[in-house]
Chains A and B, each alone.
Chain A
Amino acid sequence: MRSEWRAPLLLTLGWRNLWRHTRRTLMILFAFALGVWSMIVIAAITRGSMEQQLDKSILHLTGHVQVHMAAYRDDPVIEHRFVPPPALEVALAGEGVTARARRVRVPGVIASERESAGVTLVGIEPERERGLSFIPDAVTEGRYLDSAEDPGLLLGRKLAERLETGLGRRVVLMSQDVDNRVADRGFRVVGIFDTQPRQMEEAYVFIGRATAQQMLKLGNHITEVAVMTADRDRLDVPLARLRAAAPALDVQPWTVLEPLLVLTRKITDVILIIWYAIVFAAMSFGLINTQLMAVFERTREFGLFQSLGMRPAHILGQVLVESLILLVLALAAGNLLAAATVYALRDGIDLSAVAEGMELVGVAPVIYPAWSTGDMAAANLLVFVLGLAASLYPAWRAARHVPVEAITRV
């Protein structure tokens, strides 16, 4: 019976106590909401820029999984070539793989009439690269390659400028063939591609896979297979299947191919937690101070409650409920504000004014905030639990008074 009305009473008391000083409460509410807001918004922006970087790196010829000869990753040259075994082809055609393409990727030299440059020569299967890498969507002038046998060549804009060549002009590619002799062949530039970061435009040239195999006397050998799956964070099953299908080859997920991306992700998590902790610490000073004051000015009241028979535990509960209401209100306001902010920024934050700087660290000039449930839950949980913990001290002070002393104190 009694426990039925006790909780509502505490709630009513807490709620009313909170609004005894409207201004004070609003101010602390605002401070808290701002704190929660900054936690979530900054998390969304950081997470967004990191995820974009990750997506981009995966599209930059990495894919979710790659298959090579064992020594190729260490020493990416033509000697480490292979013919995909039939079992691998079967596994690649199976479920879980959304895109796959064979590639010939070796170092080479490109020369125009005027200049020459070192590049990575990539022989691709044009149709298969759709959904697997950036190249099908990056051709902004001329055309994309038609087929693996296409005799044309795709050149990055920056490299085209450096070589003083352009669409429709001829360039010469040189590389080592399987017999260690220099193989060279003239190509017509059929397409120019643009991409970010622009170093990519200078680093790669693309030709048809079959053309590359012919030029380098590769037969039906290739140097890598790139694979895209449904979910980059759930690679265990597809990996296991591919490895079982090609035990002699080196099948690696992007986490192994690009360890820096994994590290960046981990560091982002750590930085966000540190940011949360700092913001919370700043907020908790305000919370403790306000609640402490609210408790001190009510010393007489608490004494009276106690002499009327209220147990210290309930006084403690009363103050805690007050904090609880405050926290819930602040969290609600903070989350709403943050959601509105992230929504308002859905078209991205344009940093193109400092694009070259962002490029140095591989960040795109437009950042799209990413609303992550995990980050939001972490922020809310942290503020809620630690906020309650922080108000334990004022609550405990309130409950500790001896009734008679408390009543007689002015």
Chain B
Amino acid sequence: MITLRLAWRNLWRHRRRTWLTASAIAFATTLLVFMITLQLGAYDMMIDTCLRVFTGQMQVQRAGYHARPQMRATVPDAQALAARLRAASGLDGIAVRAQGFALASSASRSYGVPVIGVEPAFESRVSTLPRLIRQGRYLSGDQAQEAVLGAALARNLKLQVGDELTLLGSGKDGSIAATIVPVVGIFESGNPELDRHLVQLPLRTFQEVFSMGDDAHAIVVSGAGHETIPQTKAMVSAQLAPGSGLVVLDWEQLIPGLRQLIQADMVQNWITYIALIVIVTLSIMNTFLMSVLERTREFGIMLALGSSPRRIGAIVLLESVYLTLLGLGIGMLLGGGIAVYLHYTGFSFPGMEEIYAQFGLPGVIHPKLSFAGFTLGPAVIFVFTVLAALYPALRIRKLHPVEAMHAV
């Protein structure tokens, strides 16, 4: 008990030095808490935006379709399978899609574009596109003769809501697929890939035009949060008949770059964090060392009076721990405060919006408030500083009482 008191009092023998050192730790902690929560928030946003716009958390496809999206690699009787999946899983974020390619033409222009057949009733539960309609409305029903398309594509084709869109492509069996449908809506997702290329048709209409029968190419599944993805995937896999040739691909398989991007960013950031922590640690290691060296006489007297070197070492170590905790506390309060504030207001800097828009991301990051985000940085700092404090504490074991008392 007295060890704790001694250590605490020793700390305040040099007020200024203690505060300076504590603020060095607080500075590093604030920065790390802020950066890590921001980083985690950015990852969540990237995954979420990426998946929610169009891809979904996972998709049921014919094996090999993802690598080579060919018309004939279909999911047979997809709507019935989707209905079975909905019934079995209780999830309603399950929608069927079919994809083809067509030359989309207006009166004056043509572009080659992918055409997607969707179930309008379910599509809005797996994708945000139906809600991103800027003009007109979304598709009304499975069999409606109508189309929606991206804003940039509409601009390039010089098409308005109400104009007619001609689609000319080839169907599943290689026959000519052609139709003329009115444009009922134009969406703008902010993702240039989608806005510039995509045309959506109701699923039944698509199947008819592209001679697909009841087949489709993917069943998109989106459950609750990321945490439930493995369970949902297992459940969906269990529903697929063995030997059907169908597979469930989760987002990491659908967009493999996303996970890698996050990993690369994580590694890069931790390198900078560690460099920062080492610099701070070396700075405060000096303080620890000096506070021991200047007390050589005092420690000599304590040893002569019968304190064990172990106990003095414990006092010194405790001083460092107090100091670190003080700094960590202040830093976590400050960093956490900033994170909480930005969680509600959002973080952005000039130019970020334009760069992020290129990848279809919103230009604002909301730091993620999570236990890991708040404690990861401080924990690493704590480990480093305690390691730094060990050296001076261990030196005490080498002291000889008489010599130490004579030290200046």
Q: Which residues of A contact B (CB under 8 A)?
A: 21, 23-24, 27-28, 30-31, 34-35, 38, 42, 75, 77, 107-110, 114-119, 161-162, 164, 174, 176, 180, 182, 259-260, 263-264, 266-267, 270, 275, 278-279, 281-283, 285-290, 292-293, 297, 351, 353-361
Contact = CB atoms under 8 A, between A and B. Distances in A.
Interface in B237-272: 256-264, 272
A77 B111 CA distance: 10
Q: Which of B197, B263, B280, B359 has the most CB of A within 10 A?
A: B280
Contacts of A176: 109-110
22 contacts: A27-B285, A28-B282, A31-B279, A31-B283, A34-B278, A42-B272, A115-B71, A116-B169, A116-B170, A117-B101, A263-B351, A267-B349, A282-B280, A286-B280, A290-B290, A292-B17, A297-B294, A354-B263, A358-B260, A360-B261, A360-B359, A361-B261
B286 interface: yes
A31 B282 contact: yes
A119 B111 CA distance: 9
Given A282-B24, A354-B263, A357-B264, A118 B111 contact: yes
Contacts of A30: 282
B111 A107 contact: yes
Nearest to A294: B290
Contacts of B294: 297
B286 A361 contact: no
A164 B156 CA distance: 29
A116 B70 CA distance: 10
Interface string B336-358: 00000000000001011011001
Contact of B279 (A282, A353, A360): A282
B31 interface: yes
Contacts of B264: 351, 354, 357-358
A107 B276 contact: no
Contact of A27 (B101, B111, B289, B354): B289
B69 interface: yes
B200 to A, nearest CB: 16
B303 interface: no
Given A115-B101, A278-B31, A279-B275, A356 B20 contact: no
Contacts of A275: 272
Interface string B187-203: 00000000001000000
B70 A164 contact: yes
B287 interface: yes
Interface of B: 16-17, 20-21, 23-24, 27-28, 31, 68-71, 101, 103, 108-114, 156, 169-170, 197, 256-264, 272, 275-276, 278-280, 282-287, 289-290, 293-294, 349, 351-352, 354-355, 358-359
Contacts of A293: 17, 287, 290
Given A75-B156, A292-B17, A358-B261, A281 B170 contact: no
Shortest Cβ-Cβ A-B pairs, 9 listed: A286-B283, A118-B112, A357-B260, A357-B261, A285-B24, A109-B112, A31-B282, A356-B257, A354-B260
A50 B178 CA distance: 46
Contacts of A35: 279
A81 to B, nearest CB: 15
A212 B203 CA distance: 37
A285 B69 contact: no
Contacts of A282: 24, 27-28, 276, 279-280, 283
Contacts of B197: 118
Contacts of A289: 17, 20-21, 24, 283-284, 286-287
Contact of A285 (B259, B283, B352): B283
A357 B259 contact: yes
Given A34-B279, A42-B275, 11 more contacts: A27-B282, A27-B286, A30-B282, A108-B112, A117-B101, A118-B197, A176-B109, A259-B354, A285-B24, A290-B286, A293-B17
B373 to A, nearest CB: 19
B112 A119 contact: yes
Contacts of A31: 278-279, 282-283, 286
Given A116-B101, A118-B112, A288-B20, A162 B69 contact: yes
Contact of A161 (B68, B260, B285): B68
A223 B290 CA distance: 73
B99 to A, nearest CB: 12
A28 B283 CA distance: 6
A118 B283 contact: no
B292 to A, nearest CB: 12
Contacts of B280: 282, 285-286
Nearest to B23: A285
A312 to B, nearest CB: 21
B27 A281 contact: yes
A174 B264 CA distance: 41
B68 A162 contact: yes
Contact of B110 (A42, A116, A182): A182
Given A293-B290, A357-B263, A180 B108 contact: yes
B257 to A, nearest CB: 4
A135 B103 CA distance: 27
A75 to B, nearest CB: 7
Q: Which of A24, A77, A282, A360 has the most CB of B within 10 A?
A: A282
Given A24-B289, A27-B289, A357-B260, A34 B282 contact: yes
Contact of B276 (A114, A263, A278, A287): A278
